[in-house]
Structure formats: C-alpha cells, structure tokens
C-alpha cells in the first residue's frame, strides 16, 4: 500500500487497524475537532495524535507507510512499540486489549521456522518461562499463534538491563552489585529446583526495574538438566557452543548439552566481575582466545583491580569462576550463604538518569484506575529471614526466604506529563516489522485465483478451437 499523505487516509487506517480503541478514538477526535480544524497533512495529524497519547510513534510510523495489518494480533494484543530484537525474535511492547495493561510480546520470525530447531527451542522457552513463578524471573502469561507466526506473551517491566546500566553509568557500587547478584541467584535457585538451567546468564539478561528488583530474562537457551529425554538438546546442541562468549563457562564451551546449574553460577560470576570492573573476566583477544583463556587461566582477582572491594567478596567471585566444577558453588543457595550480609540491605533503585523516561498511563485505562507501572505495583523489598538477619549456617534454601518490605526512597513516578509541543514523526524503513507484512497465505491465495483464471481461459480457448476444427 502506498504511503499515506492526507489526514483522511490516516484516520481511515487507524480505524481499520484497531490501533486505538474505537470509542476512545472517536471521543478524543471529536474533542480535537471542536478545538479547531485538523491539519490536512497526515504527518502533522500524526504528530498531534502522538502528542495527545492516542498513537505511539511506532504505530504512527507504520500507519504513515500504509501498514496497518497486525497492529492488533488475534484481537487481543495491540502493538505499541519495538523493545528489542535478538537471535530468537523481536520483542514488542503491547497492550492487552481486554485487561488494559502492558505486556511484552516475543515474536518468532517466520523465516526461522525453516530452521529445524527454532520452533522447538521457542516452545521450550515458553514452557520454561511458564513453569517458573518467582519475583526474580520474568513471568510468562501465554503463548499464541497467528497464522504461521508464534509469539510468547510475557510480563512487561520498566527498567534497564545491567549491561546498559554499567555502559551508561560505569561500574556499580559494591553493595549494589552484590545485592543484584544475590537477587539473580534467588531466581536461579528457583529455576534449578524446577529442573532448569538457563545457559545464557549475562548482564544484558538481568533487568532491574525502577525499584531495584532484578528479573532474569530470556529462557531461550534453557534446558531441563534432569530430563534424559531432552531430544532437542541432543539433536541440535551437542556439537554447538551455546551462550555468550564473554560469560560462558569452560564446560559449556566444550559441550553445551552436558551441563548443570554450576555453569549458570560461573556465568553469574562473570556478570558480578563485570558489574564491579566494567569488563568481563577474559576481555582480550579473539573469540577463540577468550574461550581458550578460561580453560587454562584464572581471572585477575577483582580486589586487585578495585581496592575498595573486600577481599572476602573478591574470593566469592573467584569461587564462582573456578575452572573446576567441584571447586565452584554447587548450587545458588550455597552462593547465597556467602552473600547473606548483602541480602539484608534494602533495594538499590537504578539512577533515574540512566533509565528511559517513564511511560505515560495507557490511553485506554480509565482515569480513576490508571495502569500502574512496576514502581507503583511492587513494594520495595529486602531479602531477609522471618526472624531478622540470616545466620551463617541457616537451614533451608535461602532463595525461599521471606521478602521483607522496607521503606527506602520512593522510586521515580511512572506517570509523565504530556508535552504540549508538536514533534515530527520519523519513519525509518529499517524498523519495518516482519509481522506487519502482508500475510503470505493471502498472497498465495491471490496467486491461486490468478492461476485458476488463466487455466479457465486456456480451457475456453481449447474448446473454441476444437469447435472450429470439428464443425467448420
């Protein structure tokens, strides 16, 4: 469809797409029309609708290109923007139409369906996420399909991943880094008890919300360590190096299928090292050199690079990064015993200057019941036992300790005042979303009709020629 240039064409596509609730859109449009005539230019009108919160820039950009299909999936999920993309698909910010809340939607690209392991791995991620219910792991709500497209619906959390936090603000304070790692270890212990190994723990897969709660992301490489029938791992993972080179364990570098939770502990140790130093343990050389280094060398102790890090905490990191599996912590709970002093601290909300601007309330949410963001939905917590500080030899899994509320400073408010300025809409073709393309089955149906018509025409010509030859 050609690009939209006039406002009437834009309004028509908005209504066809369902990008805005029809009742709300008509009411707000009438209000705008009463205030004055709407501009005839589609881009100027789009800018006004963005300013008023009726469209997002993502929606407007695609509508102006004439792309409106699949802005609402299965009449349930309204696309609001692109969060990010990775090897297993793109992640979109969506509004659940009926529940009127934001969710994250991970879409498996249709071209990956041609790879034998992609769909099975995607479904395994969905099963892994759905089986885990813990405050330090992103929750999965649903998995769905639209035509040939599969997507996973997940909890949406406003925040920043640890990779970006360090990249923007530098290495973290010691207490802050230790507390974040302790929270991640709690989530890993929960996954371990459920039988899952993550296999790709790294700073960019640990998200911190506005209150300081850490969430483990992306179960795309997870495997059941207790499942002897894990055919997907045996068929596709046995001869591959899975994970991220800077944080992969020595044993995972040689055999990604024969690993257990201790490989996650190693990767978490590499993440801890990065949070305190600004670089992973083995950061020099080519990929091959990095993989070889972790097989034969020990990383330089953190306290030598950063003197304010206590030596006993530096020793904890060294133990997490031990080359020998048996010298490492054998479970996340063992690690948490050595981190118990930091578990007593209140949460460390990220520096607001490092965070993206808070999202405004959804336009579809009732004014008296606006959708709350994470900072207003989740109270600040500290990891604690029911009776107070944790003794060194406490019994029972530390990851199941009570989350005890504390009252640190309130995090940044989630609502932002709408700007009164009109801003231009940038339409970037490079941000074209695969799922907004015309559906392949509809193209094939059209071609089928064309070939049927051609066949019928040839048949008619054949009958006409036969009639001429026989009777004339």
H or E element, residue 123: helix 118-131
Q: In this predicted model, what pLDDT tens digit does every residue of 101-117 receive, in sequence order?
A: 999 998 877 766 667 67
Of 399, 266, 397, whose CA–CA distance to 326 is shortest? 266
Pairing of strands 77-86, 223-224: unpaired
The distance of Cα 370 from the centroid of its chain, to the nearest Å, equals 24
| Residue 36 DSSP one-character state | S
Q: Is the pLDDT of residue 431 over 50?
A: no
pLDDT recorded at residue 291? 80
- pTM, rounded to two decimals: 0.73
* pLDDT for residue 139 is more than 60: yes
* Predicted local distance difference test score (pLDDT) of residue 366: 57
The H or E element spanning position 78 is strand 77-86
The more confident residue out of 64 and 390 is 64
Please write the tens of the pLDDT for every residue from 159-190. Answer: 999 999 999 999 999 999 999 999 999 999 99
Whole-angstrom distance, CA of residue 302 vs CA of residue 284: 16
Check residue 40 and give its pLDDT. Answer: 95
Q: Average pLDDT of the chain?
A: 77
Residues with a catalytic annotation lie at 200
Cβ atoms of 281 and 294 within 8 Å: the answer is yes
Closest CA to 330 of 272, 261, 397: 261
CA distance 109 to 435: 8
Q: Which residue has the higher pLDDT, 61 or 106?
A: 61
User: What is 7-119+133-156's CATH number?
Assistant: 3.30.200.20
Q: In this predicted model, what pLDDT tens digit does every residue of 334-353 receive, in sequence order?
A: 999 999 999 999 999 999 99
CATH architecture assigned to 159-365+372-405: Orthogonal Bundle (1.10)
To which H or E segment does residue 268 belong?
helix 261-277
Distances (CA, A) of 314 to 52, 260, 320: 51, 24, 10
């Amino acid at each position: 469809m050609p690009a939209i240039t006039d406002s009437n064409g834009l309004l028509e596509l908005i209504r066809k797409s369902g990008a805005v609730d029809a009742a709300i859109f008509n009411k707000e449009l009438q209000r705008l029309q009463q205030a004055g005539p709407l501009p005839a230019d589609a881009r100027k009108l789009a800018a006004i609708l963005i300013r008023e919160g009726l469209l997002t820039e993502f929606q407007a950009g695609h509508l102006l290109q004439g792309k409106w299909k699949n802005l609402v999936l299965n009449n349930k999920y309204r696309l609001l923007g692109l969060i990010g993309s990775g090897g297993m698909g793109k992640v979109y910010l969506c509004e659940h139409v009926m529940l009127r809340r934001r969710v994250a939607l991970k879409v498996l690209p249709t071209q990956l369906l041609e790879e034998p392991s992609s769909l099975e791995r995607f479904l395994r991620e969905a099963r892994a996420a759905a089986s885990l219910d813990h405050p330090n792991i992103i929750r999965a709500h649903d998995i769905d399909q639209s035509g040939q497209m599969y997507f996973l619906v997940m909890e949406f959390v406003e925040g920043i991943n640890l990779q970006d936090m360090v990249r923007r603000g530098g290495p973290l304070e010691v207490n802050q880094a230790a507390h974040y790692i302790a929270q991640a270890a709690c989530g890993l212990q929960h996954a371990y008890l459920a039988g899952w190994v993550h296999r790709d723990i790294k700073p960019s897969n640990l998200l911190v919300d506005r209150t300081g709660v850490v969430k483990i992301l992306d179960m795309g490489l997870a495997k059941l360590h207790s499942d002897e029938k894990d055919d997907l791992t045996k068929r596709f993972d046995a001869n591959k190096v899975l994970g991220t080179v800077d944080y992969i364990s020595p044993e995972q570098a040689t055999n990604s299928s024969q690993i257990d939770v201790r490989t996650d502990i190693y990767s978490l140790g590499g993440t801890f090292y990065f949070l305190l130093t600004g670089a992973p343990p083995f950061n020099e050389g080519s990929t091959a050199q990095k993989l070889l280094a972790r097989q034969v060398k020990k990383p330089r102790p953190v306290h030598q690079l950063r003197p304010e890090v206590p030596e006993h905490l530096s020793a904890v990191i060294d133990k997490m990064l031990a080359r020998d599996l048996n010298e490492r912590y054998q479970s996340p709970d063992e690690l948490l015993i050595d981190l118990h002093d930091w578990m007593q601290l209140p949460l460390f909300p990220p520096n607001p200057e490092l965070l993206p601007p808070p999202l405004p309330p959804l336009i579809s949410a009732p004014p008296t019941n606006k959708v709350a963001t994470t900072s207003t939905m989740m109270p600040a917590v500290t990891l604690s036992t029911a009776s107070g500080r944790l003794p060194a030899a406490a019994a029972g899994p530390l990851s199941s300790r009570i989350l005890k509320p504390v009252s640190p400073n309130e995090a940044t408010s989630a609502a932002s005042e709408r700007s009164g300025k009109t801003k231009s809409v940038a339409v970037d073709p490079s941000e074209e979303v695969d799922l907004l393309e015309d559906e392949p089955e509809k193209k094939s149906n059209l071609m089928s009709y064309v070939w049927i018509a051609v066949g019928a025409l040839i048949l008619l010509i054949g009958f006409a020629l036969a009639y001429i030859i026989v009777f004339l």
